């Protein structure tokens, strides 16, 4: 007589109960992170195994990674900055979408993956009026545990001036921010300050916000050429050799033991600079070279772009000047001038293809300020349509990986996030 389904299920349960914890460690560690809640709800033994150190070691050996999106509202003037209910999202390699806890801050600008955590800093201080703004700190999101913690922020050369005798720490806006050989660095950026002004006493007394004075009272200025390395154990930032040119909104990425800051702009006048600055973390030295366009030899001016590394090359897009996907090859340096070269990543359409012109017209370029990353070795961006798109190998088409629900705006995309 054939067995019933309930009888087969009972035998399967008995079989798994006969396994010791060491066997279960190896079996359960192979299950996708997206199914973690399902396996921990089976029984106490499985919950115990998943919470154990051997399970963590087995997961690290497997090396599953995902892509994390950190959200913020794009209109901080009408928000109180409390985004605890706004979710972060995790996209697993098979395209499944998981919701995680949000973080109370409006205007986060840069992120980097350090160890098991996504390190996040802000941001545009004009969009957050509170004295104890979360933007004035660095925050760490442990994706696997679904928890946030607040850490020390990089030093700034200026402060918010709130009124006579009052000041508060200002957030660093859009610095170079990346992990190089397991070490976190912050370079340059800008600071939003306010000269001392007269404030309305009633408004000042309202929840410790300072007054919404005209834009003429706002001063965006460079945060100097300061470069800092984060000390994980001490939760402190240590000064390193300064940049040669102070910039913010540069495209920043790490290749090998070097930090690259491509382009960027002067914080005071938003004039972009055609340079790439390279920091050697081993020797604590900076070099600065001019950028040229591969096609016409003209200087390249880019700021506001997000960068990622694809196959040892630095790809970036979303700059204010051009809605292009561009690539900087750290190895392609002019031996005579020492200058670097920027290449535009163009679709690989065959000229003989009768559909080529139609494909060119329908090809969608990345949005301005779109965060980018590398997913399964391919360039990926998060667009204003709330979708993660992956650029195919021929560079002529995009494949939508996942659509994110909601009406908030994503500023940060972190790829290769460990899922333990």
Candidates 151, 32, 72; CA nearest to 413 is 72
198 vs 147, residue with greater confidence: 147
Q: Which pLDDT belongs to residue 87? A: 63
> Has this prediction a pTM greater than 0.85?
no
Could you tell me what percent of the chain has a pLDDT over 90?
19
Q: 220 with 192: CB under 8 angstroms?
A: yes
pLDDT band at 291 (very low <50, low <70, confident <90, very high): confident
- Domains annotated for the chain, with CATH where assigned, are 5-57 (no CATH), 105-362 (2.120.10.80)
180-194, 208-222, 250-264: lowest mean pLDDT where?
A: 208-222
Q: What would the pLDDT profile of 179-197 be if each residue is shown by its tens digit?
A: 999 999 999 888 766 544 4
pLDDT of residue 126: 45
**pLDDT above 90 for 240:** yes
Q: What is the mean pLDDT of the chain?
A: 75
Question: With bands split at pLDDT 50, 70 and 90, how would you rate the model's confidence at 73?
Answer: very low
**pLDDT above 60 (res 114):** yes
Cα 253 to Cα 179: distance, rounded to the nearest angstrom? 8
Q: What is the dihedral sign for C-alpha 173, 153, 83, 108?
A: positive
Has residue 199 got a pLDDT over 50? no
CA 368/CA 370 separation, integer angstroms = 5
Lowest mean pLDDT among 63-72, 232-241, 292-301, 304-313: 292-301
For residue 262, give every residue at least 6 positions away whose Cβ sits within 8 Å of its Cβ, in sequence order, or none: 250, 251, 252, 253, 276, 291, 302, 305, 307, 314, 316, 328
Q: Which pLDDT band, with edges at 50, 70 and 90, does 128 fall under? A: very low
In the predicted structure, residue 326 carries a pLDDT above the cut 50? yes
When pLDDT is cut at 50, 70 and 90, the band that residue 397 belongs to is confident
The sign of the CA dihedral 158, 161, 167, 169 is negative
| Residue-level pLDDT at 153 | 83
Which phi and psi (to 5°) does residue 143 adopt? -65, -40
Distance between CA atoms of 325 and 319, rounded to whole angstroms?
A: 9
Contacts of 81 (CB under 8 A, 6+ apart): 104, 105, 106, 128, 129, 130, 133, 134
Output the CA torsion 197→202→208→214 (10° steps): -40
Rounded CA separation 402/363 (Å)? 19
């Amino acid at each position: 007589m054939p067995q019933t389904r309930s009888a087969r299920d009972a035998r399967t349960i008995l079989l798994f109960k006969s396994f010791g914890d060491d066997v279960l460690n190896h079996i359960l560690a192979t299950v996708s992170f997206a199914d973690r809640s399902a396996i921990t709800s089976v029984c106490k033994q499985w919950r115990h195994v998943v919470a154990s150190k051997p399970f963590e070691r087995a997961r690290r050996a497997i090396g599953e990674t995902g892509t994390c999106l950190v959200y913020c509202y794009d209109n901080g003037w009408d928000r109180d900055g409390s985004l605890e209910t706004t979710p972060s999202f995790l996209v697993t390699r098979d395209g499944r979408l998981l919701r995680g806890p949000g973080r109370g801050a409006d205007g986060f600008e840069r992120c980097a993956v350090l160890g098991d955590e996504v390190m996040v800093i802000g941001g545009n201080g004009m969009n957050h009026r509170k004295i104890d703004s979360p933007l004035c700190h660095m925050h760490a999101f442990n994706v696997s545990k679904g928890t946030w913690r607040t850490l020390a922020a990089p030093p700034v050369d200026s402060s918010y001036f709130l009124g006579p005798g009052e000041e508060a720490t200002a957030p660093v806006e859009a610095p170079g921010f990346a992990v190089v050989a397991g070490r976190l660095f912050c370079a340059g950026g800008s600071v939003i300050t306010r000269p001392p002004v007269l404030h309305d006493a009633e408004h000042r007394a309202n929840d410790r916000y300072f007054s919404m004075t005209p834009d003429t009272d706002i001063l965006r200025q460079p945060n100097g050429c300061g470069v800092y390395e984060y000390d994980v154990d001490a939760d402190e930032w240590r000064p390193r050799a300064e940049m040669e040119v102070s910039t913010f909104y540069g495209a920043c990425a790490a290749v090998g033991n070097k930090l690259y800051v491509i382009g960027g702009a002067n914080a005071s006048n938003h004039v972009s600079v055609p340079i790439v600055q390279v920091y050697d973390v081993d020797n604590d030295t900076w070099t600065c070279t001019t950028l040229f366009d591969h096609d016409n030899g003209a200087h390249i001016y880019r700021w506001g772009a997000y960068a990622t590394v694809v196959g040892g090359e630095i790809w970036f897009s979303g700059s204010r000047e051009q809605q292009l996907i561009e690539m900087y090859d750290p190895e392609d340096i002019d031996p005579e001038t020492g200058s670097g070269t920027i290449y535009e990543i163009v679709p690989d359409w065959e000229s003989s293809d009768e559909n080529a012109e139609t494909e060119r017209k329908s090809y969608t370029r990345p949005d301005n300020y779109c965060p980018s990353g590398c997913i399964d070795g391919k360039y990926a961006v998060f667009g204003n349509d709330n979708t993660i798109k992956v650029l195919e190998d021929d560079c002529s088409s995009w494949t939508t990986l996942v659509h994110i629900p909601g009406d908030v705006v994503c500023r940060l995309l972190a790829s290769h996030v460990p899922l333990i």
